[in-house]
Amino acid sequence: MADSLRDQLLKSGIVKQVQQNRVHQDKRAASSQAGKPTSRNARPQPPPSAPRPPRRDQGEMDLARAYAIRAQTEAGERKRIEQEAAEQARLRRERKQQIQQLLRDSALNKAEADRPRNFEYGGKIRRVYVDAGQWAALNAGELGVVQQAGRYLLVSREVAEKVRAIDAQQLALLVDPHEGGVDADGVPDDLMW
């Protein structure tokens, strides 16, 4: 308890040594000016050897610089990711447009077709309606099925191969003629289900 309040504040870290030095200099300046007469227009002059405000130490500057570099890096990374996403979207649009142009007059679907041909696409069982001739041609690999805008279009093998070259995910069904009439899942193509 013998410590003065100033010493206790210093120990607790609330007051720094720099502040303590300022207080001592202010007291000296006040005591030296106490003996001089003051005039009305005279402004109080700071002591000639007033200490400069304390500079931030190198650790604080490095921390601020590190945050700035980190923010700049993150901004650059976000911009790069956005550019990549925009480029991917542009490529998807171009592929979609190429496929649309290719399929414009190539669809062989018939409105009067009444025979469903089931196939697996996207993890689900899908169906396209064909007639008897198309059924045989589809199972022989002469025709293929392409998914476009939520519809399944029956197309020739050549068109299906071109679609595969542009975007393989749009090709829903193309039987390999060398497999002998069995789909990739092992189910015979002529099986009615």
pLDDT for residue 81: 96
pTM higher than 0.75, yes or no? no
Q: Mean of the pLDDT values across residues 86-94? A: 92
**Which domain does 140 fall in, by range?**
115-179
70 in the same domain as 23: no
pLDDT for residue 90: 93
Q: Count of domains in the chain?
A: 3
CA-wise closest residue to 104 among 190, 169, 20, 163: 163
CB 160 within 8 A of CB 171: yes
pLDDT of 45 over the 70 cut: no
131 in the same domain as 86: no
Q: How far apart, in whole angstroms, are the C-alpha atoms of residue 177 and residue 157?
A: 11
For the stretch 153-164, pLDDT in tens is 889 889 889 888
17 in the same domain as 63: no
7 within a domain of the structure (yes/no): yes
pLDDT for residue 1: 55
pLDDT for residue 53: 58
